[in-house]
A and B are shown apart, each in its own frame.
Chain A
Amino acid sequence: MSETSNANSFSIDGQRIPFTPGQTILQAALAAGVYIPHLCHHPELKPHGSCKLCTVIVNGRNGSACTQMAMPGIEVENNSPTLNDRRRVLLQMLFVEGNHFCPGCEKSGNCQLQALAYDLEMLAPHFRHAYPVRPIDTTHPDVWLDLNRCIMCELCVRASRDIDGKNVFALAGRGVDSHIVVNSPSGRLGDSALSIDDAAVHVCPVGAIMVKRVGYAVPIGERQFDEQPISRQVDYLATRHIPIVPVAATEER
């Protein structure tokens, strides 16, 4: 347990945040109960810094809270209209870049992309929709992959590599052609080493990697982000484990 002192604390929007050396700004913030919007971060995986939703202003300069180390005395701007406007634009670009149709998606209500859009009051995607043509892979007996909903956060890539030790997923292509590929001779999920118990299956923040035959198990009203917006679920965000079992689906709440 660290003592709260000026040497081991910094400020977010004027609020004093204690930290232990080695913690990132995001880790320290979540531990202190302060919410910073984020998509590609998971407490059990190495930071990636790709979604940029957690961009904060540190001593006047932009930085990703998930990769930037907490340092004594730094002043972080987080929950400001300017930053939230930028975050909303990032979300809107993610929405038009893929095919995100919430009404028919099993992940709806448990989806972090959707929860962030609610929390930042994103009413519409604003930009022209790309409606990309992306494949769905249902060759695996227990898991299906819908790249229409993929936001390329690479959480599955990291989980498969660092937790499962299987390297099932990777990111291929550049720019607008970037996409997740499956490591198997045929390129299909059914021929890969993926199994339903893998962390990579349960880490997806959106509805891209889904377990078969369990869709819509949790009724509307009891899903992860139905009752409380994501910004009020800092404890959950800071302490969630893989596999991510929706809180509402467990016995105790």
Chain B
Amino acid sequence: MNAPMNPRKLRITTTSLSGCFGCHMSFLDIDERLLELAALVEFDRSPITDIKHCSQHCDLALVEGGVCNAENVHVLRELRANAKILVAFGACAVNGGLPAQRNHLDVGKCLSQVYRTPDGSATAIPDDPELPLLLDKVYPVNEVVRVDYFLPGCPPSADTIWKFLTDLLTGRTPRIEHPLLKFD
């Protein structure tokens, strides 16, 4: 079988849930290799394109950050429903990361502590209906939806991301090992 002359570009969707966009910055850190990548893929919903909802039949979803509120759950489920392969992208997506440091605290007490008035007499917790409700804990992505691959690191280095993407795009099972495998 001959490969088609102009194979369809793979469609990538990315998002940052409860993350710092550090993993996205590290993604951009692949520098001139972005041009190589752009020949093979196109971006769907992503902070890079500012598309608000992902189209059906995305090939790859990169999910940065853990799941800390109701909106994160909606976004994550949308990506899972529309992407063939979903990747927990970075330390927070893998184990909750820095935001999960609140997991040993009670959310109610946390909010009243942060939003109480200066004299401590009352609290003014924001309750605008547009604000997503916080979850009781920050959850890793794989505790909410099924995850196909994990890419740890805070952030995963550009070389790690490049190795992962090139493995995937060329049909190999992605393998991240020393020295590319880092949790910090």
Q: Would you call A101 and B88 a contact (CB within 8 A)?
A: no
Q: Is A128 an interface residue (CB 8 A)?
A: yes
Q: Would you call B95 and A123 a contact (CB within 8 A)?
A: no
Q: Would you call B95 and A124 a contact (CB within 8 A)?
A: yes
Residues of A within 8 A of B151 (CB): 123
Residues of B within 8 A of A103 (CB): 91, 97-98, 154, 183-184
Interfacial residues, chain B to chain A (CB-CB below 8 A): 88, 91, 94-98, 100-101, 103-104, 137, 139-140, 142-143, 147, 149-152, 154, 175-179, 181-184
Q: Is A229 an interface residue (CB 8 A)?
A: yes
Cα distance A188–B104 in the bound complex, in angstroms:
21
Residue of B nearest to A231 (CB): B178
Q: Would you call A114 and B95 a contact (CB within 8 A)?
A: no
* B78 CB to nearest A CB, Å: 22
What are 25 pairs between A and B in contact, CB < 8 Å? A95-B95, A101-B97, A102-B91, A102-B154, A102-B184, A103-B91, A103-B97, A103-B184, A105-B184, A109-B184, A118-B182, A123-B149, A123-B150, A123-B152, A124-B150, A125-B94, A129-B100, A129-B139, A131-B103, A131-B104, A131-B137, A132-B104, A133-B104, A134-B104, A227-B179
Query: Total interface residues on A, using CB and 8 Å?
Result: 29
Residues of B within 8 A of A125 (CB): 94-95, 140
Residue of B100, B101, B149, B183 near A117 (CB, 8 A) is B183
Residues of B within 8 A of A132 (CB): 104
Q: Is A84 an interface residue (CB 8 A)?
A: no
Cα distance A100–B183 in the bound complex, in angstroms:
10
